[in-house]
Amino acid sequence: MDATYLLKLLKEIQDVMAQNRDYLIDLDRVVGDGDLGLTMSDGFSAAYRAAKESGETDAGRLLYTAGKAMSTAVPSTMGTLMASGWMSAGKALRGKTELSEADVALLFSAYLDGVAKLGKAKAGEKTFLDGLSPAVDAMAAAAKAGEPLPEMAKKAAAAAKAGFESTAGMMAVHGRAATRGEASRPLKDPGAAVAALMMRAFEKSAS
């Protein structure tokens, strides 16, 4: 597939965030300030528009452009983290105009690394990473097995959903939720919900 596939991916992510804006607001209202749905909807929309308007055929530059636009549009903590993911992915795919399944797996692995590095977090701390990390592992296994993109995306979406569900039971380490201490355990993490929605969009883009 060529790099224009990424526009389809970014469009699906934009759409799923817009469709689930109120859902994310409601989740975030319990542990944060309730603006996550607006931030993610506006931010991923800005990322898609910038990538589309760029006319880039280089996958890396296209994704980096998306990340820069998102960081400008939504300079909040979560917005900056998501933008850093796109920029990290852009660096990993720089120079590529054709993408394999392994390249798509690399995209999300680099996205994960970018978010983790900036946020100084790791899986198990009730964050976005708990949704995306299992999805990245599922993608790596699927790519290694030579599975086609639709199967890879299906497994990634299932893994991300399970990862999101598993955040109920974890104690929050970062952000406002961490101030709740043990009381944060029963709550599902809004950031991990964003990761699950991204993987739902990925599955749709691959169909």
* 11, 67, 87, 153, 198 from 204: Cα distances, Å: 10, 21, 23, 8, 10
pLDDT at position 177 is: 59
pLDDT digits (tens, 9 = 90+) for 172-181: 666 665 555 5
Q: Of 99, 105, 86, nearest to 47 (Cα)? A: 86
Instruction: List CB contacts of 83: < 8 A, sequence separation 6 or more.
Output: 43, 47, 67, 68, 70, 71, 74
Number of domains in the chain: 1
Nearest-angstrom CA–CA distance, 204 and 19: 14
Q: Which two tokens stand for residue 160?
A: 């991300």
Mean pLDDT, residues 167-189: 66
What single letter denotes the amino acid at residue 189? Answer: D
Domain of 184, in residue numbers: 5-206
pLDDT at position 33 is: 76
Nearest-angstrom CA–CA distance, 139 and 152: 6
CATH of the domain at 45: 1.25.40.340
Q: Is-contact 9 1, C-beta < 8 A?
A: no
pTM of the model: 0.93
pLDDT digits (tens, 9 = 90+) for 58-110: 999 999 999 999 999 999 999 999 999 999 999 999 999 999 999 999 999 99
User: Would you give the end-to-end CA distance of the chain in angstroms?
Assistant: 13
Q: Is-contact 160 196, C-beta < 8 A?
A: yes
Residue 146, SS3 per DSSP? coil
Residue with tokens 């199967």: 151
Q: Which two tokens stand for residue 16?
A: 């799923």
pLDDT digits (tens, 9 = 90+) for 99-116: 999 999 999 999 999 999
Nearest-angstrom CA–CA distance, 196 and 156: 9
